[in-house]
Amino acid sequence: MKGRTLRSGAIAALAAAIWMLVAPAGGVGSPGTATRPAHPATARVAAIPPPAPHEIPADVIVRALVKAEAGALHLVLRVPLTSMRDVDFPVRGPGYVEIEEATELLADQAKVWIADYVTLYEEAVRLPAPVVTGARISLPSDPSFADYDRAVAHIAAPPLPPATELMLEQAMLDVVLRTPITSPESRFSIDPAWAHLGIRTTTVLRFITPDGAERVFQYQGNPGRVRLDPRWHQALLRFVALGFAHILDGIDHLLFLLCLVIPLRRIWPLVSVVTAFTVAHSITLVASVMGLAPKALWFPPLIEMLIAASIVFMALENIVGKTLGRRWAWAFGFGLVHGFGFSFQLSESLQFAGSHLFTSLLGFNVGVELGQLVVLVFMVPGLALLFSKVMKPRIGAIVVSALVAHTSLHWMADRWGVLRAYEFVRPVMDAGFWAVVLRWVLLALIVVGVGWGLGVVYGRLAARFGGGEGGRGGKAASG
């Protein structure tokens, strides 16, 4: 009787733990978004909180241009004037900005709200704090920020006429920041922390390289240190960390991995399944980066729905399946889908790769695999302990898989609802369409060839190491 009570309590605790793992976390952030620690300058400014006459702007776009010139690194920015919230800018009539009086306040406000929230580096050396060398009020329709030289010339030009009828909410603040450097040929980094300028702050940063080329970065919030022209090993390490963090943040990928390994009891079946999943998602990850993934808006929701469906399928297979034969094939097939899911995160971050595209791709993949290994180091012994001390393996596999399937079914239904909101337009069957079809046929041939090769290798290794996965008759764990 006591043993049954102990097992019932353990099962209840397991269910609660899985629910806490998969339930959405509270808070204002979106899923998978980490909050960056406060910038040092933020701490200094926040020590004595200023009054805030204005409301925080909801959506703010920061336009920034960075260029290294002889003796100095220049940072040219355009932000909404209302993001400078600790001062009441003088207005007249219905809310028109008093240009002359407001201009006298701009340099101090630009320092407090912009210059104090950015750190610049030359190679590994932190540069002196940038100083404000120019500031002016501009019309929202002003096109000067189309390129660096026009933006600098515009800020140096005379201010708007005093009689200009410009509403405060529409006024833009243009600023030039300057910091001394050793050589314009050095490699520079920037650590901007301008998320405080609005509730949702998007920065479009353009770096002009010494040869005149332009490198564009676009991000939301505070991105951390951004290397404007990274070396190959810097790009590699950044993307290893990105891949590692992505797999740990991706609860759907972790649950799929859990469903794959629940019934496995020996090393060789585990190695074959994980290797097949890795190879498969690497193929579609590379294919997506090379431009083979459809560009249609419905494709990401479709992949997200299929990822949830893959978890449901593997969970149900754990419940009703009688054998583990060819389990690596399921891992390989669904790994192709998960690879496209990985690529969505990667595609948003490739702007930080500089000229090292394939190095960054390799680093991201390595990071994903390292994350999987870390998870497996804890997951496999945890399942072994559960099935040996708390419940029989077969019962445990059913209980855990049922909990995962329940959660994933809700995900699949929600994502299906999102997918149905998109309109599917029949493609025009022109030369471009058939070129895409040809590339997909080539990708399919590669997938089939790799899958066949894995089958041959697994079959031989399974025969050598004693059956199991890769053979034909691996039996499911039983109680």
In 3D space, the residue among 80, 230, 110, 113 whose CA is nearest the CA of residue 178 turns out to be 110
Give the integer Cα–Cα distance in Å for 214 and 148.
10
217 and 199 in contact (C-beta within 8 Å)?
A: no
pLDDT reading at 9 higher than 70: no
Query: CA-CA distances (angstroms) from residue 201 to 10, 56, 77, 460?
Result: 46, 11, 14, 56
> Tell me, what's the pLDDT at 438?
86
Give the least confident one: 116-130, 187-201, 464-478: 464-478
Res 38 pLDDT > 70: no
Give 304's pLDDT tier (boundaries 50, 70, 90).
very high
CA distance 271 to 269: 5
- Which long-range contacts does 101-106 make (Cβ < 8 Å, 24+ apart)? 102/137, 103/135, 103/136, 103/137, 103/159, 106/135, 106/136, 106/137, 106/173, 106/175
Per-residue pLDDT at 39 exceeds 80: no
> What's the whole-number mean pLDDT along residues 290-310?
89
Query: Quick one: pLDDT at residue 354?
Result: 87
pLDDT value of position 431: 81
- DSSP β-bridge partners for residue 72: 69, 180
| Lowest-confidence segment of 54-58, 190-194, 240-244, 379-383 by average pLDDT | 54-58
In this prediction, residues 237-264 reach a mean pLDDT of 90
Q: What percent of the chain has pLDDT over 90?
A: 54
pLDDT value at position 324?
A: 66
pLDDT of 51 strictly over 60: no
User: What pLDDT was estimated at residue 360?
Assistant: 92
The tens digit of pLDDT for each residue in 450-460 reads: 989 888 887 77
Assess whether pLDDT exceeds 70 at residue 440: yes
The answer to whether residue 141 scores a pLDDT higher than 50 is yes
The dihedral region occupied by 441, where left means phi > 0, alpha psi between -120 and 50, and beta the remainder, is alpha
| Average pLDDT value for the chain | 84
pTM of the complete model: 0.73
pLDDT over 60 at 158, yes or no:
yes
- What's the pLDDT at 53? 52
Q: What is the dihedral of CA 436, 354, 110, 138, to 10 degrees?
A: -40
The per-residue b/e assignment along 236-245, b for 16 or more CB within 10 angstroms, e otherwise, is bebbbebbbb
pLDDT at position 345: 81
Give the per-residue pLDDT at 291. 83
Query: Quick check: 168 pLDDT over 90?
Result: yes
Is pLDDT above 70 for 6?
no
